[in-house]
Amino acid sequence: MASLLLSRESPLKCSHQQLADELGSVREMISRLLRGFAESGLIVQGREQISVLNKTGLHQIAEG
């Protein structure tokens, strides 16, 4: 998920369902992940829009 956010232009304009479809996941899991990223200050979510605030933090998550 973090890799996908980093690979796109910010703000990313899509719904949680569209991300789930692209990743082969379910919307609920995507929503939980994004909520965690937002609570950590990595992203900000709006209506069908996600803005990356901390690319370094997302890179650390993406690299495991």
User: Distance of CA 35 to CAs 40, 49, Å?
Assistant: 9, 13
pLDDT of residue 52: 97
CA distance 2 to 61: 6
pLDDT in tens, the chain (64 residues): 999 999 999 999 999 999 999 999 999 999 999 999 999 999 999 999 999 999 999 999 999 8
Q: Supply the CATH classification number for the domain 2-63.
A: 1.10.10.10
